[in-house]
């Protein structure tokens, strides 16, 4: 086992519960191999998830993908960051590309696409992507994630229906007066 891997495993083991230890281990791993895509990805995650510094996170993810376009671990976190940063066009382009990468978890990418559409209030289109995610599901541990996203989107659709019903009731009351 390479020294880089040892420190990377320590960082992954520490994250997100002990950030100081995570950073220390990452810094050691980076000093041994500054082109390790998993190290760069975890740096990006810390920037996005802990510091809410999406632009800095994007640069780490971009650097990782410039080193290895097949760095499968980067795509889901990069997509999440783009969506949170409201970089919707860029996210859509990355989704389209990610779905062509051999070995990628397509189910996870379709979930990100559903979340992107949800963020754009395209709920019916998002539900279609949920269906694609289910069709491409190969790993049991993603099933609950798919169900959670699906329920959230369906709840938003229901909220919009209720809001619309209230408006029509108010307008019909005004007309009857």
Q: Which of 78-92, 128-142, 156-170 has the lowest mean pLDDT?
A: 156-170
- Give the dihedral sign, CA 44/48/52/55: positive
Domain ranges of the chain: 3-176
Average pLDDT for 30-50: 98
DSSP, collapsed to helix, strand or coil, labels residue 34 as coil
Q: What is the largest CA-CA distance in the chain?
A: 80
Helix (H) / strand (E) containing 28:
helix 19-32
- pLDDT level of residue 139 (50, 70, 90 thresholds): confident
Architecture of domain 3-176: Alpha Horseshoe (1.25)
- Percent over 90 (pLDDT), the chain: 84
Angle at 81 between CA 155 and CA 139, to 5 degrees: 65
What are residue 171's phi and psi, to 5 degrees? -70, -35
Give the tens place of pLDDT for each residue, 146-162.
999 999 999 999 998 88
How crowded is residue 144: how many other Cβ atoms within 10 Å of its Cβ? 9
Q: What is the per-residue pLDDT for 172?
A: 67
């Amino acid at each position: 086992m390479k020294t880089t891997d040892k420190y990377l495993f320590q960082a992954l083991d520490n994250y997100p519960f002990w950030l100081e230890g995570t950073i220390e281990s990452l810094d050691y791993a980076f000093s041994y191999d500054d082109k390790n895509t998993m190290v760069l990805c975890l740096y990006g995650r810390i920037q996005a998830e802990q510091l809410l510094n999406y632009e800095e996170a994007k640069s780490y993810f971009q650097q990782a993908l410039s080193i290895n376009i097949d760095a499968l671990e980067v795509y889901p976190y990069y997509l999440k960051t783009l969506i949170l940063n409201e970089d919707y066009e860029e996210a859509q382009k990355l989704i389209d590309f990610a779905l062509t990468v051999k070995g990628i978890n397509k189910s996870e990418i379709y979930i990100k696409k559903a979340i992107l559409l949800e963020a754009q209030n395209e709920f019916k289109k998002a539900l279609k992507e949920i269906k694609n995610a289910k069709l491409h599901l190969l790993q049991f541990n993603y099933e609950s994630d798919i169900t959670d996203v699906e329920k959230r989107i369906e709840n938003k659709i229901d909220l919009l229906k209720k809001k619309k019903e209230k408006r029509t009731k108010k307008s019909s009351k005004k007309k009857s007066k």
